[in-house]
Amino acid sequence: MEKALQADAFWYFLSNRPGPQRNRIGFLFELVAKADGIPDGIGDDGYEIFYTYSKKLKDDRISPELEWLKIKQTYMTLEEWFEDRTLYHIVGFLIQQGFGVEKIRSLSEPITKSEFERKLRDEVFAMVIGGPKPVDLSREDLCERVNESLDDMDYGTDAHKSRIRSILLLFNLATLLESPRSNLRFQFDSFKREDWDIEHVRSVASERPLRHHDRVDWLKRCLGYLETQETEVELCSGIEAFVALSQKDAINVDFDALYERVLGVFKESDDEDVDHGIANLTLLDQSTNRSYKNAVFAVKRQRLLSLDQSGIFVPLCTRNVFLKCYSPQVDNVMFWSSNDRNAYREVIAKTLVNFFDGNQEVSK
């Protein structure tokens, strides 16, 4: 049991915090002790679980063998969740959202696995969508409820950011569950060891670089992409000339004109309305996001593909967005059009409706 818990894939499925290097089995003792109820008067100095078992085992009416059996049964339950691909993703999502393992255990008893799974989906629905349980809604009403929730989400509203992050994570998990032939599993260990941002697929106008070194960095990223395409030779020369300037000399150069020319090549414009909706958002690790935050779509795409090719964890749906897998017609991979956004938004809604409707692979 200790060896299994030492595997980060198992540990981070169960916990949102880094585990101790030793004695992770204490997690099981804590679960059982809390489920049985920690007696009144037990101290809160960090040794409550030890005091609980110490007090229990001094009671002649308590069987040490039965107490150990509870530990083994708890482990077997957690292992079953981990091994079952559907439960792994749904339970893992709830735990990542702060839903306690002990509360999930209470939902599992005494019912069948299919009933347990239905209860879990209902909890997820209440958490990210809200309203009546999916089982009480027709397919049409469920679609309407999900679409209304997605339409209400706006990254520009601070109160919505947490829900948007939850929806995007759930979209990744639900996507993985859509195919019964797939054996892919979401890497909760990689996800929880990183800090994740909500990234605009297509940059917003307010992120135009203002300081000289930010302008130089932005132009260098665009230049790197343009040079690989071996196009726009004149524009590349103009970018190289600006990049070579000192901050003092750059004051006399019209950066805005150069900036607009570059955006024109990538078919992006500052004149468009800022899109903070779910159709222009995806998950990206914080370090990549902060370094490429205001880059044009083509540059972000190139960077994400290089991370994926290097074996660095990139959520499946983030990868799919930049590969334009959701777009019905991939006429140009250099930019993210309104058609791309609409198709992406439609897939998010459909995938979530299927998930809540239970129209996915059946637990084995």
> What is the DSSP secondary-structure string of 137-182?
S-HHHHHHHHHHHHHH--TTSHHHHHHHHHHHHHHHHHHHHS-TT-
Query: Is 25 a domain residue?
Result: yes
CA distance 237 to 188: 45
CA distance 237 to 114: 63
CA distance 233 to 241: 12
Cis, bond preceding 64 (omega within 30 deg of 0): no
SS3 196: strand
CA distance 214 to 199: 18
List Cα–Cα distances, 317 to 46, 115, 167, 337, 360, in angstroms.
Answer: 41, 29, 12, 17, 17
Q: Domain boundary at 64, 83, 102, which? A: 83
Query: Is 181 a domain residue?
Result: no
Query: Is 236 a domain residue?
Result: yes
SS3 197: strand
Q: Domain boundary at 83, 114, 144, which? A: 83
Per DSSP, 18 falls in state P
Query: Is 246 a domain residue?
Result: yes
CA distance 257 to 129: 44
Phi first, then psi: give them for residue 54, nearest 5 degrees.
Answer: -60, -45
Its pTM stands at: 0.84
Q: Domain boundary at 83, 99, 114, which? A: 83
Per DSSP, 200 falls in state E
The number of CA neighbours under 13 Å toward the Cβ of 99 is: 22
The residue among 341, 319, 310 whose CA lies nearest residue 176 is 319
CA distance 363 to 350: 21
Return the pLDDT at 47. Answer: 80
How many domains does the chain contain in total? 2
Return the pLDDT at 209. Answer: 81
Per DSSP, 198 falls in state E
- Which domain covers residue 55, as residue numbers? 1-83
Query: Is 340 a domain residue?
Result: no
Return the pLDDT at 42. Answer: 66
Each residue's pLDDT expressed in tens, for the chain with a length of 364 residues: 999 999 999 999 999 998 888 889 999 999 998 888 876 656 666 788 888 888 888 888 889 999 999 999 999 999 999 999 999 999 999 999 999 999 999 898 888 999 999 999 999 999 999 888 888 889 999 999 999 999 998 887 777 899 999 999 999 999 999 988 888 999 999 999 988 889 888 876 556 788 898 889 888 888 887 887 777 888 889 989 998 989 888 888 888 888 888 888 877 765 555 678 899 999 988 887 777 767 788 888 888 888 888 888 899 999 999 988 998 876 667 778 888 999 999 999 999 999 998 754 443 3
Helix ranges (DSSP H) in 310-337: 316-322
Query: Is 19 a domain residue?
Result: yes
Tokens 């679980």 -> residue: 49
Query: Is 311 a domain residue?
Result: no
Return the pLDDT at 180. Answer: 80
Query: Is 60 a domain residue?
Result: yes
